[in-house]
Chains A and B, each alone.
Chain A
């Protein structure tokens, strides 16, 4: 035999890249996707006989740190709109991993192409609620975009990919990236995978000033300039505005109040944006309820039109009554 054959070489390159799950309860079923930070596999948890998504980091300590950070962030955020983590650890081959719920459905960008605007807005509202929840727990996502949101078959919305999230300090702490849970991260017992205990949360490096993390088009100007110190919830508000813009892009004439909400969310200066996601959601809810939105000063005609739409039934009833009265008076006079 002379040298490794092409077929064997292809196979070896594949198996050499597969995570070593020999001491874990998981077995790989297929590769779901590959990203900058790691590979996500569809795996079966033999203990519970269920499918999970297994995210495995690739090579460097930096990537391992980010994966652990993401797992910690997710574990600290229990919300229906945030994908839950089941398990985490370090594999025998030294690569870190975490197991999360397998999410079925479509990415928001795919979902948006298939449904009308009101449904898109409802999904967007749920994204905002999940992000607002994260903010309330001191976590800023920093990479919000339609590709990082999954919409399930029953309309459930899950915000994914918290790998570059920034965690704001709790009382008395300095600001760190990914320091959501200090030392409390658990690893299930009963198999040989090592936990994260050896990797104190404090060992996770902060994002240096000048580091740019995020996705162009959805990144706020301060994020794009790498001004890490200026990143706060309004950075996510900007990205949410960009997502709203994406959801409106298919509309021939996007409603002006929604455009105004998008513009305010995407203001270049953080001080001119909604101060919190809740304020953005409140404006959106007002729009959905047919009320005036804070971001848009209405003309008299617009206000009349909105009033007419909002009270259509009552107006029709009054108009019907008036017409009947006029007709009655007219016939009685004859």
Chain B
């Protein structure tokens, strides 16, 4: 599995508090705002970068610069603070801001050169490039769908990384190994291992394998939902995103 070492990688931080960081981005305390901005940037930089590369067809350096500048500018100009939950989902708002920002930057192409190459934050662009190579640039789907898909991928990356740490910290390495084999690697294998094969491999009864898997999946679901809770402003938005992410039909 992915294991990003950068400060904004999924392995970096997972705030203990599950309050909405979208709302915290409007907090009166600048430190709270900065922390909220960090979490939002950590969750969104990769889909943003991939969108710039695949849909705006920017070269790697320009996309890296623009990603950095977009988030740096958001902090400076208080872009996230101006978000109004009553008008759109945060994800939609961020995309609209990104589109506007990119159009303006393209119009003033020289400004790209001016900021070009300046490393403002350490982001794992290598990893993002490798993902683009591996998963494609979303050919055949529109930009919205592509952005959503990459955001969901990023969301699950965080949740899985967090899950791995939790399993390691609580002595559930076998749980995670089973999860990795069956749920992460299995779907890509020509022959997904059976519960019985995994049971034999680990010297466990089949029922224990299924129980371990159920426990890890339960934790995964909890973490995904917690993360979603953090990245949304209202209960309504949370539910809508949960349904979009977990594939449950809307009410």
Contacts from A to B (Cβ < 8 Å): 1-18, 20-22, 34-37, 39, 58-60, 63, 92-93
Contact = CB atoms under 8 A, between A and B. Distances in A.
Q: How large is the interface on B (under 10, 10 to 19, 20 to 34, 35 or more residues)?
A: 35 or more
Given A1-B1, A4-B156, A16 B134 contact: no
Interface string B225-251: 100000000010001001101111111
A93 B183 CA distance: 18
A22 B183 contact: no
Given A1-B2, A3-B134, A9-B152, A18 B217 contact: yes
Contacts of A63: 251
Contacts of A58: 243, 248
A9 B157 CA distance: 9
B119 to A, nearest CB: 21
Contacts of B225: 59
Contacts of B188: 5, 7-8
Interface stretch (B64-72, B95-103, B208-216): B208-216
14 contacts: A3-B2, A3-B135, A4-B157, A8-B188, A13-B152, A13-B245, A15-B183, A16-B220, A16-B224, A22-B211, A22-B214, A37-B251, A58-B248, A63-B251
Instruction: Identify the interface centre among A8, A12, A39: most chain B CB within 10 Å of its CB.
Output: A12
B135 A5 contact: yes
B151 to A, nearest CB: 11
B217 A20 contact: yes
Given A3-B127, A11-B186, A22-B218, 19 more contacts: A1-B2, A2-B127, A2-B131, A3-B2, A3-B130, A3-B134, A4-B153, A4-B157, A8-B187, A8-B188, A9-B153, A11-B187, A12-B184, A12-B220, A17-B221, A18-B217, A22-B210, A36-B249, A39-B248
Nearest to A12: B156
Contacts of A10: 187
Given A22-B211, A22-B214, A4 B184 contact: yes
Contact of B248 (A7, A9, A22, A34): A34
